[in-house]
Amino acid sequence: MPEGDALFRTARTLDRALAGHTVIRFESVFPALTRIDEDAPVVGRTVDRATAMGKHLLIHFSGALVLRTHMRMSGSWHLYRSGEAWQRPAWDYRILIETDTFIAVAFNVPVAEFLAGRALARQRDLRALGPDLLGESFDVGEALKRLRARNTETIEAALLDQRVVAGIGNIYKSEVLFASRVHPQTPVAELSDEQLLGILERARRWMRANVHPSTAAAIVTHPGLRTATGRADHADGVWVYGRAGRPCRRCGTRIVSAKTGPHVRTTYWCPHCQPAPA
């Protein structure tokens, strides 16, 4: 599943490419989308904007119509010029939105729906989201409250729950907990408010750094490199994620990993820098 910063950058890229332009072609393999398109055609509408809410991507059209997509593990949005070859096979396509300048194609997106009028505010998954780490405002008090409501859970599980705080994925979970010197299987109840606030602050700071607007005017169609270490080299961009069996950058101990939680997600940590809870 893409991290929140990747969705933020994708939404920003789509917004730069599509906003203010009229849709001249809309296609989808999803019957639920095509039925609504037949009744209230997307063609002829203007793309107002594209935004991200946690890991949900929203494309707003004129006439109070919103397309919500969720990438899950394998979905992605691409941008192409007319006539440009797709980088994914045609059988992976799920949604196509074309304007006079770009063609936006969603590949392997498993979740997609149109929300009309007030349905956006009532959408269950969006309403349940915790404070968004990449939102213009971030209610840290509410995020702490929601973490405390998960006191019996491990901190790694609580951070991945988008109802607690929106945006953190498997990479940031491992990286932030390493930097905070917290073992991923530590129960939330065993962490002080100061520790939890530190974890939230670091996650927000790193994610915001990784979506800092480029100074270039060109529209990019890739999410760029994610870095937690601050080093420019991509190979040095993470502390522990994906580095099982390799030496810790801080102490030299071999990084370990384990698949845990209801979704069997792999977590990485340093046994020395992040001692196991008693």
Q: Please pick, among 49, 202, 265, 271, the residue that the annotation labels catalytic.
A: 265
**How far apart are the C-alpha atoms of 175 and 255, rounded to whole Å?**
12
Q: Which of 152, 147, 150, 156 is nearest to 184 (CA)?
A: 156
- β-pair type (76-80, 265-269): unpaired
The active-site residue, picked from 9, 55, 68, 243, is 55
d(CA 195, CA 188): 10
265 is catalytic: yes
Active-site residue, 187 included:
no
In the annotation, is 175 catalytic? no
Cβ proximity of 248 and 256 under 8 Å: no
Name the residue among 217, 204, 210 with its Cα closest to residue 9.
210
Q: What is the C-alpha separation between 197 and 191, in angstroms, rounded?
A: 10
Active site residue 173: no
Catalytic residues: 2-3, 55, 265
